[in-house]
């Protein structure tokens, strides 16, 4: 893997994004209702030109953007990332991209990536949502679960089984507008404060014009999208880890205990040193993975898996350690670390759980 360093312009741009997040985006996030799509926040992301950076920006740009937003406003980071995840597959179809991407980039239309099912999470090839042949196309019948932005999105990238018993080779991706008859769902109350829900398909009609890519090749669409976004999940985690480290360091410098600032206690200072070292190591792994993806390197799969694995586990450690340094005040509702504690758990599961990343890395060792 190559070593990596940002240039001055990249540092300057990241600082600008952090300023926007703190000054313009965080107030909109705080005014929104937890667990609901925040359309004013999306509109602001569009006005600032940040959503436009998703298409067709590089993996490194995406990582820098997600890390910078996450340090100041995790809601803005997640709103942006979900737009990218839901809409990126549409680039496979010029007609669908022309219809939806401008509206997604402006923040007018909300996109969602609908892959996971009650019985198909980490084993995405096991999905069962049925696409049954019908005049002019297919009818979708079944359920999707734990879908971000559901059921409030305007368009869903839906993965359905067009060939029974064919595993990954029998899946097709469809762009399904929210107003299609037979499509419904409800919100799920989750640990993290983001819009997540269940979708139900009752013979929802889709046609050839809704197919993303090729029939029975939808699993490739899903994996291409996830491979692009996997390093940036690590960037989201790095942003949270850095926010936790900054908060812990500031608290340790100002809080007095046993006659001295907390930072003078070796147990605290060594914990901060460990947090800083792990966070920087995670950051470098993420940047290296993004660079590998952008250059088409043969080790992209291994690098991306390592980045997501290490960064998300590091963020969990850093947030937990920061809570410990703060003590009970960090557990109060509304405290930054209480918020981060709820945010940090999910990235170790979605877009490939920690255990899946270890399996990918191990497989690559013997390839």
Cβ burial, residue 2 (10 Å; 0-12/13-18/19+): exposed
Catalytic residue among 117, 343, 351, 364: 351
Instruction: Reply yes or no on whether 61 is catalytic.
Output: no
Looking up tokens 């599961």 gives 349
- Tokens of residue 163, six digits: 């060939």
Contacts by 139-142, CB closer than 8 A, 24 or more apart: 139/182, 139/203, 139/204, 139/205, 139/206, 140/174, 140/176, 140/182, 140/201, 140/203, 140/204, 140/205, 140/206, 141/201, 141/202, 141/203, 141/204, 142/117, 142/201
Q: 175 φ, ψ to 5°?
A: -95, 115
- Residue found by looking up tokens 């914990």 in the block: 271
Tokens of 68: 């910078």
Q: Which residues of 155-190 are buried (b: 16+ CB within 10 A; e: fewer)?
A: bbbbbbbbeeeeebebbbbbbbebebeebebeeeeb
Residues forming beta bridges with residue 137, ordered by sequence position = 134, 207
Cβ distance 231 to 291 under 8 Å?
Answer: no
The backbone torsions φ and ψ at residue 178, rounded to the nearest 5 degrees and listed phi first, read -65, -20
Catalytic residue ranges = 351
């Amino acid at each position: 893997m190559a070593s990596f360093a940002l240039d001055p312009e990249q540092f300057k741009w990241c600082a600008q994004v952090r300023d926007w997040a703190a000054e313009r985006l965080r107030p909109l996030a705080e005014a929104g209702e937890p667990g609901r799509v925040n359309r004013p926040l999306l509109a602001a992301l569009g006005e600032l030109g940040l959503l436009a950076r998703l298409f067709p920006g590089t993996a490194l740009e995406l990582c820098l953007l997600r890390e910078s937003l996450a340090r100041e406003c995790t809601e803005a980071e997640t709103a942006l990332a979900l737009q990218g995840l839901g809409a990126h597959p549409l680039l496979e179809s010029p007609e669908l991209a022309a219809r939806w991407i401008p509206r997604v980039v402006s923040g007018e239309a909300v996109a969602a990536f609908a892959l996971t099912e009650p019985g198909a999470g980490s084993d995405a090839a096991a999905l069962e949502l049925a696409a049954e042949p019908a005049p002019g196309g297919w009818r979708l019948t079944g359920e999707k679960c734990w879908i971000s932005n559901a059921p409030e999105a305007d368009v869903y990238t839906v993965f359905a089984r067009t060939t029974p018993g064919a595993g990954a080779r029998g899946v097709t991706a469809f762009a399904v507008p929210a107003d299609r008859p037979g499509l419904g769902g409800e919100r799920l109350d989750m640990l993290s404060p983001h819009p997540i829900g269940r979708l139900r398909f009752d013979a929802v009609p889709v046609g050839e014009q809704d197919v993303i890519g090729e029939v029975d090749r939808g699993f490739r669409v899903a994996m291409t999208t996830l491979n692009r976004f996997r390093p940036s999940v690590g960037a989201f985690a790095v942003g949270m880890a850095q926010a936790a480290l900054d908060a812990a360091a500031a608290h340790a410098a100002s809080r007095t205990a046993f006659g001295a600032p907390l930072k003078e206690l070796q147990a605290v200072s060594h914990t901060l040193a460990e947090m800083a070292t792990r966070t920087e190591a995670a950051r470098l792994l993420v940047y290296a993975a993004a660079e590998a993806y952008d250059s088409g390197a043969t080790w992209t799969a291994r690098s991306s898996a390592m980045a997501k694995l290490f960064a998300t586990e590091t963020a969990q450690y850093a947030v937990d350690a920061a809570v410990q340094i703060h003590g009970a005040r960090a557990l109060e509702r509304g405290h930054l670390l209480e918020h981060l504690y709820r945010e940090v758990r999910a990235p170790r599961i979605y877009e490939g759980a920690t255990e899946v990343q270890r399996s990918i890395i191990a497989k690559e060792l013997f390839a």
